[in-house]
């Protein structure tokens, strides 16, 4: 029984999507399997970036812990750096939940890769939020620097 052209096109599209998904899944599973700490290279790099950003935020946040009436603009900076630190924490926890766990390395790398693909939308949303906060901090410091130069 022959298929009409639109049904054939739909079937071909579904097959290609399945092949693409499977290819990504096995590629990521292989990367996780061969990694030293059970995470993809992208996850490892993102964790390093987040931890560095958090240390910078803490460097801003710690000296400003006591709210002062003397410099009211510090209150906004304190709040911004605290939110940035918390967003980084949230993303780090999500990334650590993706790491391979257990003794069966081959199966667990597959499960980790599958979980990573499923949670990619949530990870990207948290990453975007952190990026927005980082940009706002950078803008704040740029404006501070330009006002000091006047």
Tell me the pLDDT tens digit for each residue of 95-148.
888 887 766 788 888 888 888 888 989 999 999 999 999 999 888 878 776 776
Number of domains in the chain: 1
Report the distance separating Cα 145 and Cα 17, nearest Å.
50
Q: Please, where are the H alpha helices in the chain?
A: 5-34, 41-61, 73-97, 105-118, 120-149
Q: Which of 49, 77, 50 is nearest to 61 (CA)?
A: 77
Alpha carbon separation from 82 to 27, 74, 92, 143, 147 (Å, rounded) = 37, 12, 15, 19, 23
Condensed to tens digits (0 to 9), the pLDDT of residues 48-62 reads 999 999 888 887 766
Residue 132 placed within a domain: yes
* Domain-located, residue 31: no
Decide if 102 is inside a domain.
yes
In a domain, 21, yes or no: no
Closest CA to 64 of 54, 78, 81: 78
CB atoms within 10 A of CB 56: 15
2 part of a folded domain: no
The parent domain of residue 80 ranges over 40-149
Q: Is the pLDDT of residue 77 over 90?
A: no
Q: What is the rounded average pLDDT for all residues in the chain?
A: 83
Q: Confidence class of residue 66 from pLDDT cuts 50, 70 and 90? A: low
> Is 53 domain-assigned?
yes
Asked whether residue 22 is assigned to any structural domain, the reply reads no
Q: Would you say the C-alpha torsion 74, 77, 81, 82 has a positive or negative sign?
A: positive
Confidence band, pLDDT 50/70/90 cuts, at residue 86:
very high
Residue 45 counted as domain residue: yes
């Amino acid at each position: 029984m022959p298929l009409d052209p639109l049904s054939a096109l739909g079937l071909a599209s579904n097959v290609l999507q399945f092949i693409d998904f499977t290819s990504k899944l096995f590629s990521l599973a292989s990367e996780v399997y061969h990694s030293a700490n059970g995470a993809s290279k992208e996850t490892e790099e993102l964790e390093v970036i987040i931890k560095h950003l958090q240390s910078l935020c803490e460097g801003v946040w710690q000296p400003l812990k006591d709210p002062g009436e003397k410099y009211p603009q510090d209150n906004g900076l304190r709040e911004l750096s605290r939110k940035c630190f918390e967003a980084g924490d949230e993303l780090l926890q999500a990334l650590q939940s993706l790491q391979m766990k257990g003794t069966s390395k081959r199966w667990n790398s597959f499960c980790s890769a599958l979980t990573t693909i499923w949670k990619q939308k949530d990870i990207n949303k948290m990453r975007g939020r952190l990026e927005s906060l980082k940009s706002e901090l950078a803008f704040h410091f740029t404006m501070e620097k330009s006002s000091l130069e006047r």
